[in-house]
Amino acid sequence: MEIKIVKDILESNNVTAEENRKFFKEKKAVLINIMSSPGAGKTELLDATLGMLDGALRSAVVEGDICTTMDAERLTHRNVPLVQINTDTLGGVCHLEASMIREAVSKFDINDTDVVFVENVGNLVCPAEFDIGANLSVALLSSPEGPDKPLKYPLMFRTCPVVILSKMDIVEALGVDIDEYERNILKVNPTAKILRVSAKTGAGMDAWINVLKELHKTSAG
């Protein structure tokens, strides 16, 4: 068994992340890193996003999971390039690293792509520690998870300039105070842009699509 040293892993990841950033800039494409707890609705958001973008931005998706291709399969009907990373072949790693993204992006033609969406492993801790070289990191916080999560997992919410409050359609049934979620996000990240979204009903999706279009215009335009 290979002995991995934690310090080395983090340092070499940062070097590769910088290379990814440079590569995407040259190719006039943007890389979006979508992170959350398991079951917060990353795949459902991506499905709705691909449906609404439909051609406006040419998209590709990199799916990160410990195992299975279930999430990728949910997106095949969108007819965009899909690459699945299964980390169980890499020792069951609980996050994606910059080198995995480089490898994944080599599987399709980046010259035909405006935006690469990365769906990270469902985990509110470790993915925030590993820069993949993204132009934008986005955290999803689903309403059933409760308003305390930004305070308990501050690195994730501090790392992400955009936070999506997902599953807004069940807020009423849950009886939660969604303003409290926003206040707690702003406590750890006062400049966060917060979007209230239901991928199911489409509510709030326009604002998210605009974020993507603006980002592509400024970063890659």
Burial (CB < 10 A; 0-12, 13-18, 19+), residue 210, is exposed
Distance in Å, CB of 162 to its own copies, minimum: 19
Fill in the DSSP letter of residue 161: S
- Is residue 51 within 8 A of residue 57, CB to CB? The reply is no
Distance in Å, CB of 105 to its own copies, minimum: 23
Distance in Å, CB of 70 to its own copies, minimum: 5
- Is residue 97 within 8 A of residue 132, CB to CB? The reply is yes
Residue numbers at the binding site for its own copies (CB under 8 A): 1, 3-7, 37-39, 65-68, 70-71, 92, 94, 121-126, 129, 142, 144-146, 148-149, 151-155, 167, 170, 173-174
Structure tokens of 30? Answer: 């943007």
CB closer to its own copies, 110 vs 128: 128
CB closer to its own copies, 7 vs 77: 7
Which amino acid is present at 48?
A
CB closer to its own copies, 86 vs 219: 86
Residue of 118, 86, 89, 159 lying closest to 20 (CA atoms): 118
CB closer to its own copies, 55 vs 175: 175
Distance in Å, CB of 62 to its own copies, minimum: 16
CB closer to its own copies, 121 vs 215: 121
CB closer to its own copies, 7 vs 111: 7
- Is residue 107 within 8 A of residue 113, CB to CB? The reply is no
Give the Cα separation of 127 and 34 in Å (integer): 10
- Is residue 54 within 8 A of residue 25, CB to CB? The reply is no
Distance in Å, CB of 16 to its own copies, minimum: 19
3-state DSSP assignment of residue 94: coil
Distance in Å, CB of 65 to its own copies, minimum: 6
